[in-house]
């Protein structure tokens, strides 16, 4: 077998400057850890949360600036279809890439984490989390791990990012040291996370054994040449990878850990797992599927077709099982966890449709719905923190009479519920609509039927919130909305409605600037 050898490359200072968003978060994390260590215990740590938020926004600004800079530099170059050909910065022999694909994911991760930190500043109390300093600055290496996963063009860097994200989230889930439920959630998360990592490593080891390479571009080139010779081993590799990543994205039937972990974790960490951890796993799925699996088809062994079909079946299972299991849930965090399982199914559909026929807007459909999912999930969980503090529990009965106690908070929750249900005029409606239209383009009508059926079923438990807020007797508990948490609620609510009213500009911008060849496919040639 021919093995593609990648020459060793060092990281120069000019190359390191491209990693400014990651360096900023690491410097902030180290600095805040030292400050937290040196401060007397009697000094409140709330300012560490504000500094953490500042670091996230600074990093976000660098990512946006680099994205605009790359696209402005390449704006004069267009392909045959009139699309802008984006520039790509390749570091360490293409093992780390800064392109539109990675930058869009990083914007989602940093925006989500910034909103979660802001939510925490209004909701995390000393009696809930003793070490508030650790709680805030541990979010920074977690989001760095997610950013590494989005930019990885090599299995080694990809796995480093995965473990950095996983290990820090294990700690964050169990950070409420004296809460038995939090300790139980952390234990379950560590065990399932370890199983997931083992499955992913096992699949990667088979791919390395077959191709002799860890770079995704080199692997694709080798698999194109030898897929027919190693089809059985490739099936094993791909399906182990799907199982491991299925656990990370909490897609059925690999979702059973999610309700317990989401319930036991602090609510802001639940939001982090639901959006950032899930999104980072999807970043891996997209890179692997379209760089490696996509090329693994021969006339004798339709490997890619089988893997894409398996992913569609997983998507359908996630939608059906997640929606059905949520019907009997009374705990809000468990209900939203199962809602996240169903949404993982919706997000899997654009990835699983491949590039059949004229359908090439997979990534645009995916990133649009991921952005909407960010807003409605973090917004809904921000409302949950407020209601849980007032009621003293996480049951849906805590929403009883909310419209009469806090009408504006109830109005925001209605926006999130309508968006989760996929009803107009919200971002969730257009997110699901774009995915449905993409499936229709590929004539995959059975998955459309599953999406529609699961959405209709979900109306029952989503409208349970509205039933409680308007049609149940008013509770006596006073609802106090802290200013930072209120900001998060209304930022998410306004953005959800705005995207629902004007979805076109965002979708058009992504499709105009993102190209599969430049931003997603990784060539076998080393970059510099």
Maximum mean pLDDT: which of 47-56, 82-91, 395-404 = 47-56
- Band (pLDDT 50/70/90 cuts) for residue 476 is low
Contact yes or no for 223/292 (Cβ under 8 A): yes
DSSP string, 402-454: HHHH-HHHHHHHHHHHHHHHT-SSSHHHHHHHHHHHHHHHTT-HHHHHHHHHH
Over the stretch 415-470, which tens digit does the pLDDT of each residue have?
999 999 989 889 999 999 999 998 888 888 899 999 999 999 999 989 988 888 88
pLDDT tens, residue by residue, 377-430: 999 999 999 998 888 888 888 888 888 888 899 999 999 999 999 898 899 999
pLDDT at 234: 87
**CA separation, residue 367 to residues 107, 335, 371, 380 (Å):** 11, 24, 6, 20
User: Percent of the chain beyond pLDDT 90?
Assistant: 47
pLDDT band per the 50, 70, 90 thresholds, residue 333:
very high
The pLDDT of residue 290: 85
Gap between the Cα atoms of 418 and 372, Å rounded: 12
pLDDT band at 81 (very low <50, low <70, confident <90, very high): very low
Q: What is the pLDDT of residue 84?
A: 46
- At 86, the pLDDT band (50, 70, 90 cuts) reads low
Question: Is the four-CA dihedral 271, 272, 276, 277 of positive or negative sign?
Answer: negative
Q: Is residue 3 scored above 50 in pLDDT?
A: no
Task: State mean pLDDT over 235-242.
Answer: 90
Q: Residue 82's pLDDT is what?
A: 45
**Max intra-chain CA distance, the chain:** 73
Q: pLDDT band at 478, cuts 50/70/90? A: confident
pLDDT tops 80 at residue 125: no
Q: Distances from the Cα of 353 to the Cαs of 17, 435, 436, in angstroms?
A: 37, 10, 11
pTM of the model: 0.91
Structure confidence at residue 524 (pLDDT)? 47
Q: How far is CA 322 from CA 228, 315, 345, 482, in A?
A: 37, 10, 9, 32
Q: Report pLDDT for 306.
A: 86
Over residues 155-208, the pLDDT tens digits come to 999 999 999 999 999 999 988 877 888 889 999 999 999 999 999 999 999 999
Rounded mean pLDDT, 79-83: 47
**Dihedral angle, C-alpha 376, 160, 176, 191, nearest 10 °:** 100
What backbone phi and psi angles, to 5 degrees, belong to 362? -55, -50
Residue 372 vs residues 69, 138, 325, 419, 494: alpha-carbon distances, Å: 25, 25, 23, 8, 12
Residue 237 in contact with residue 207, Cβ under 8 Å?
yes
Segment 314-319 shows an average pLDDT of 94
The mean per-residue pLDDT over the stretch 101-118 comes to 94
The mean pLDDT of the chain is 86
pLDDT interval class at 300 (50, 70, 90): low
Can you tell me the mean pLDDT for 353-365?
76
């Amino acid at each position: 077998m021919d093995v593609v050898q990648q020459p060793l490359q060092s990281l120069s200072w000019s190359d390191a400057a491209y990693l400014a968003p990651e360096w900023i978060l690491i410097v902030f994390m180290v600095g805040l850890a030292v400050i937290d260590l040196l401060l007397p215990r009697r000094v409140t740590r709330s300012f560490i949360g504000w500094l953490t938020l500042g670091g996230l926004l600074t990093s976000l600004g660098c990512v946006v600036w680099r994205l605009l800079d790359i696209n402005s530099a390449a704006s004069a170059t267009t392909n045959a279809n009139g699309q802008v050909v984006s520039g790509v910065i390749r570091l360490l022999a293409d093992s780390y890439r800064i392109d539109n694909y990675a930058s869009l994911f990083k914007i989602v991760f940093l925006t989500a984490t910034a909103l979660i930190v802001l939510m925490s500043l209004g909701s995390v109390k000393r009696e809930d989390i003793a070490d508030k300093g650790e709680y805030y600055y541990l979010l920074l290496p977690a989001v760095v791990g997610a950013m590494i996963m989005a930019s990885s063009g090599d299995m080694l860097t990809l796995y480093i990012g995965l473990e950095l994200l996983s290990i820090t989230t294990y700690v964050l889930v169990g950070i409420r040291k004296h809460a038995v439920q939090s300790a139980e959630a952390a234990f379950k998360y560590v065990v399932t996370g370890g199983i997931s990592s083992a499955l992913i490593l096992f699949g990667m080891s088979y791919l390395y054994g077959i191709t002799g390479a860890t770079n995704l571009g080199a692997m694709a080139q080798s698999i194109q040449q030898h897929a027919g010779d190693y089809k059985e081993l490739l099936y094993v590799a791909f399906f182990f990878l799907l199982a491991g990543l299925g656990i990370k994205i909490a897609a059925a039937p690999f979702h059973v850990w999610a309700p317990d972990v989401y319930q036991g974790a602090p609510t802001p960490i639940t939001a982090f797992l639901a959006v950032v951890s899930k999104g980072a796993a999807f970043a891996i799925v997209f890179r692997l599927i379209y760089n490696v699996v996509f090329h693994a088809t021969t006339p004798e062994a339709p490997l890619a077709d089988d893997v894409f079909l398996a992913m569609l079946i997983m998507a359908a299972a996630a939608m059906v099982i997640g929606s059905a299991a949520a019907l009997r849930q009374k705990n809000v965090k468990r209900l939203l966890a199962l809602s996240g399982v169903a949404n993982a199914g919706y997000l899997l559909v654009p990835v699983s449709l491949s590039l059949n026929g004229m359908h090439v807007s997979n990534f645009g459909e995916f990133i649009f719905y991921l952005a909407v999912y960010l807003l409605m999930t973090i917004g809904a969980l921000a409302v949950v923190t407020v209601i849980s503090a007032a009621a003293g529990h996480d049951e849906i009965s805590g929403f009883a009479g909310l419209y009469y106690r806090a009408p504006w908070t109830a109005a925001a929750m209605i926006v999130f519920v309508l968006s989760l249900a996929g009803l107009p005029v919200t971002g969730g409606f257009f997110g699901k609509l774009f995915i449905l239209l993409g499936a229709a383009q590929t004539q995959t009508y059975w998955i459309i039927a599953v999406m529609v059926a699961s959405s209709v079923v979900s109306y029952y438990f989503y409208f349970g919130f509205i039933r409680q807020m308007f049609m149940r007797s008013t509770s006596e508990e006073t609802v106090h909305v802290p200013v930072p948490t209120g900001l998060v609620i209304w930022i998410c609510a306004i953005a959800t409605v705005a995207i629902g009213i004007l979805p076109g500009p965002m979708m058009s911008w992504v499709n105009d600037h993102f190209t599969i060849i430049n931003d997603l496919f990784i060539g076998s040639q080393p970059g510099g």
